[in-house]
A and B are shown apart, each in its own frame.
Chain A
Amino acid sequence: MFEDEGVSLSAVQLAPEERARTVEQLQAQIRAMQATGLGARTLPTRPELAPLLPGGALKAGVAYAVPDSLTLAMLLMAGPSAAGGWCAAIGVPDFGIEAAAGFGVDLDRLVLVPEPGEAWLAVAAQVADVLPVVLLRPPARAAAGEAARLASRLRQRGSTLLVLGPWAQAEATLEIETTSWTGIGTGSGYLAGRDVRIAVTARDIRTVHPVRIRDDAWSIGEADLWAEQPARRRLEAV
């Protein structure tokens, strides 16, 4: 049987590097079609953010990586927090609570552990035991075994981890690809809003979504909305 496959592949006469790429692509497709868990529970998600995420909502019991943007992490937190969930921010001493409140995070149900020190993984595990959303900035790279133990704990407890940094077992990685600011000129105005393109990488598939963030309100723009407005596209190139 294996020989048969080998024969059919060799029949197409693929170059070795092209063959490797095809295998990679096929594997990615298989991974994308496979569900990671049976009937994975989802958390309440802001409707504006839901289309960005694989599965259409924040999943409980998995990790998301948000390497470079606290704003994005706060936006992800806002959905569960507004629906009555508790949130924690571990290792983030610069967490701007006023911005978080503006995005919809309820400060009455927010816990900060700004300096977890060496014990950051233990603290994260302890907090993830009881709180549904945990934002973590790892001060160092976690050992693979430690990270796997935390991942199984998350799965067991149904808590969602948002990591401000790279994370190997992330369900999806959200990054701000480009950003353009509105309301500010040269010596005039003030920062009143921003248009960002959020790149979501889930299982090696990268999609880009435009999102507009205004003072307190924010919304997802249509992709072709950008094409219709050349002025904004010019800004986008910044």
Chain B
Amino acid sequence: MTPERAIVAWCPDWPIRAGAAEAGVDLEAEIAVVEAGVVAACSAAARAAGVRRGLRIREAQARCATLTVLPANPAADARHFEPVLLALEAGIPTVQVARPGVVVIRAQGPTRYFGGEAEAADAVLGLLAAAGVPEARVGLADGPFAAEQAARSTTAARRSRIVPLGGSAAFLAPLPVALTGLPELTQVLAKLGVRTLGAFAALPVDQVRDRFGPSGEAAHRVAAGLDARRVVPRTAPKDRDARIEFEPPLDRVDQIAFALRRTAEGFLDALTADLAVCTGLTVEITTEDGGVRRRTWLHPRSFTPLDVVDRVRWQLTGVGVEELSAAVTAVRLTPENVDAAANHEQGLWGGGPDERIHHALSRVQSMLGHEAVLTATVGGGRLVADRRVLAPWGERAAPQRDPERPWPGRLPGFSPASVLGDRPDVAVLDPAGETVAVDERGMPSGPPAGFVPPGSSSRLLVTAWAGPWPVDERWWDPAAARSVHRLQVVAGDGSAWLLCFESGRWWAEARYD
């Protein structure tokens, strides 16, 4: 594939600009942005004082006593670059962001539109100057890599450089190999006496592939001026949030739900207009006392306006509470997951039985609350209750722990049918009528002979028992540590139980019924 002509616009020292704006420091001062203990970027004043990229902080401060050191903040860099990008996109719509401060533009369109490559480069410079970056540089060459090197080779006096068609290899030849951005390759090539891109490009391609693999081969192609990477223009994200404010603040759930109906419809209509549906939604509720309740809701298919209102209502109240603790001033709906509507279209004859099931269960959810209808999966763990992972209907039940792992200490044989979540107290008695205790070595103080089931006062005979088996979990974490001894007993009435002994107390974990 032949490289396509690319324009690279470079805003020098962008981390410095963004960092200075973020920290409120004068751009003309000596500033250095530091990442991992070394200088990643420095301002012109700092450079004049002898600060260079790659210096350790201590040494940079020794060279320039008035140096302001800022931590690297990629998020702030991107945030401050966004207005510049929007201004550039107003003139040239197909822009790809390589990183904050460097954008790549496919040259073909602007060249034709502005009537020549030099004119296109000037137009880019003009747009950036209007956006508040008058010191931006522009390079135009075959492929993004050569274009970026061209932009970096410009001077303050002549801020654009155009490498003629097919001239990229010759332009790149004298540049150092380190520009490939592969430290290992650079090191090995330096030992072999290959120090420039031109010398690297002259190596036979199959030997480079054998020695350095696919990434080395790609770097070799780039060095030879055959950078085949295409420019993929970004699609500007649209603001799809919907927000409704209540003045005066509302304190009744039904009022809020009623007022929200229109907003929810508008919110989803905007998505529908772009042939998209919302499958995940974040609802942010602001209350009068300044509190913000935020929660993300997932939907197994896609939200309808009624579903959105339901989610807000569930978030506003626990089950059955109509009055709110504080009046609500605003509700904001943000789509978390958006999918193409084509993936969610119903078949010609409707969605089949699953659609009906979903509707009926959603109705039960709106009667009882979101967490009232659950789906279950088997999770990892040792106690029976740990192995049960429940998730509200419509959300994914993702076990955090893998049930397929060995879990030494888990119960062999039968799984008990009834898992008693509330850990009811029971009594296990030895033949003398004393409570059986388990010592730290896991030995019972006597054979279990009597058993008092939960919620009963009558004592049953133990006809068979097994254990106790120790479970000593997460002893390294005091908050989650658990040390129990488990015992299976069969009582005289034929019932079988799984019991736990924990810090002097017996409780029933499960029943086999």
Q: Interface of A with B (CB < 8 Å)?
A: 68-71, 74, 86, 93-102, 107, 110-117, 119, 122-123, 126-127, 129-131, 176, 178-181, 183-194, 215, 238
Task: Report yes or no: A112 in contact with B414, Cβ–Cβ below 8 A.
Answer: no
Task: Report yes or no: A191 in contact with B447, Cβ–Cβ below 8 A.
Answer: no
A71: contacting residue among B356, B367, B417, CB under 8 A: B417
Q: Indicate whether B496 reaches chain A with its CB closer than 8 angstroms.
A: yes
Task: Report yes or no: B464 in contact with A86, Cβ–Cβ below 8 A.
Answer: no
Q: Indicate whether B108 reaches chain A with its CB closer than 8 angstroms.
A: no
Some 21 contacts from A to B, beta carbons below 8 A apart, are A71-B417, A74-B417, A93-B421, A94-B420, A95-B419, A96-B415, A96-B418, A96-B419, A110-B375, A111-B373, A111-B393, A112-B374, A113-B374, A127-B360, A130-B357, A176-B513, A180-B494, A181-B496, A187-B465, A189-B466, A238-B463
Q: Within the assembled complex, what's the spacing in Å between the Cα atoms of A107 and B389?
A: 11
Task: Report yes or no: B466 in contact with A94, Cβ–Cβ below 8 A.
Answer: no
Residue picked from B387, B418, B488, most chain A C-beta under 10 Å: B418
CB distance from B98 to the nearest CB of A (A): 45
Task: Report yes or no: B367 in contact with A123, Cβ–Cβ below 8 A.
Answer: yes
Q: Within the assembled complex, what's the spacing in Å between the Cα atoms of A96 and B496?
A: 15
Task: Report yes or no: A70 in contact with B466, Cβ–Cβ below 8 A.
Answer: no
* A126-B463 CB under 8 A given contacts A107-B377, A191-B496: no
- The main secondary structure of chain B at its interface with chain A is mixed
Q: Indicate whether B378 reaches chain A with its CB closer than 8 angstroms.
A: yes
Residue picked from A117, A187, A194, most chain B C-beta under 10 Å: A187
CB distance from A106 to the nearest CB of B (A): 11
Q: Within the assembled complex, what's the spacing in Å between the Cα atoms of A181 and B411?
A: 16
Task: Report yes or no: B414 in contact with A193, Cβ–Cβ below 8 A.
Answer: yes
A117: chain B residues at CB < 8 Å are: 368
* In the complex, residue of chain B having the shortest beta-carbon distance to the beta carbon of A185: B464
Task: Report yes or no: B417 in contact with A99, Cβ–Cβ below 8 A.
Answer: yes
A185: chain B residues at CB < 8 Å are: 464, 466
**Per-residue 0/1 for B349-378: is the Cβ within 8 Å of any A Cβ (1 yes, 0 no)?**
000010011011101100110001111111
* A126-B364 CB under 8 A given contacts A96-B416, A193-B414: yes
Q: Indicate whether B413 reaches chain A with its CB closer than 8 angstroms.
A: yes
Residue picked from A71, A93, A98, most chain B C-beta under 10 Å: A98
CB distance from B317 to the nearest CB of A (A): 15
Q: Indicate whether B212 reaches chain A with its CB closer than 8 angstroms.
A: no
Task: Report yes or no: B418 in contact with A70, Cβ–Cβ below 8 A.
Answer: yes
Q: Indicate whether B129 reaches chain A with its CB closer than 8 angstroms.
A: no
Q: Indicate whether B390 reaches chain A with its CB closer than 8 angstroms.
A: yes
B416: chain A residues at CB < 8 Å are: 96, 99
Q: Indicate whether B504 reaches chain A with its CB closer than 8 angstroms.
A: no
